[in-house]
Amino acid sequence: MHVTIDIPDDLARRISEVGELPRLALEALAMEEFRLGHLTLAELRRLLGFGTRDALDGFLKAHGIYVPYTLEDFNQEQRDLERIGF
């Protein structure tokens, strides 16, 4: 889907000094939808085109977004490591 937005030229020029405006808009929308719980990590990764979860994690941390890590997440990782022999 293609989306068109109208931005005053002077503001678009100023914002574009930071980066590519379409990418910045996509990232802002994606991060907000993730924060609101409307996108999963996998969906966010797909939307932003990151090849690995580590790349997505780095992107999120650079923007001050930290994914909750629960005790159940820890226990699951521990079980997974034990299953593969660690």
Consecutive 10-residue runs of the chain (86 residues): their mean pLDDT?
A: 92 90 95 94 95 93 89 91 91
Give the list of residues 6+ apart from residue 41 with CB closer than 8 angstroms, or none: 34, 53, 56, 67
CB atoms within 10 A of CB 56: 20
For the chain, the domains span 9-83
pLDDT, position 39: 95
pTM: 0.75
Task: Select from 54, 63, 66, 52 the least CA-distant residue to 24.
Answer: 63
